[in-house]
Amino acid sequence: MSWHRIVLPLIANEKIDPDVVRIGKLGWDCYERENKPAGFAMFHATERGEGGSSENWVVYLTPVAASLCNEIKESYNVEPCDVPARDEPNIAFVYGDPLMMGQLQDSYQEKLANASSGASSAA
CB 87, CB 107: distance < 8 Å: yes
pTM of this prediction exceeds 0.85:
no
Each of the 123 residues of the chain gets a pLDDT tens digit; together they read 799 999 998 877 667 788 999 999 999 999 999 999 999 999 999 887 666 656 888 999 999 999 999 999 999 999 999 999 999 989 999 999 999 999 999 887 665 665 666 544 443
Give me the torsion for CA of 112, 40, 80, 87, rounded to 10°.
-10
Q: Which residues touch 1 (CB under 8 Å, ≥6 apart)?
A: 63, 64, 66, 67
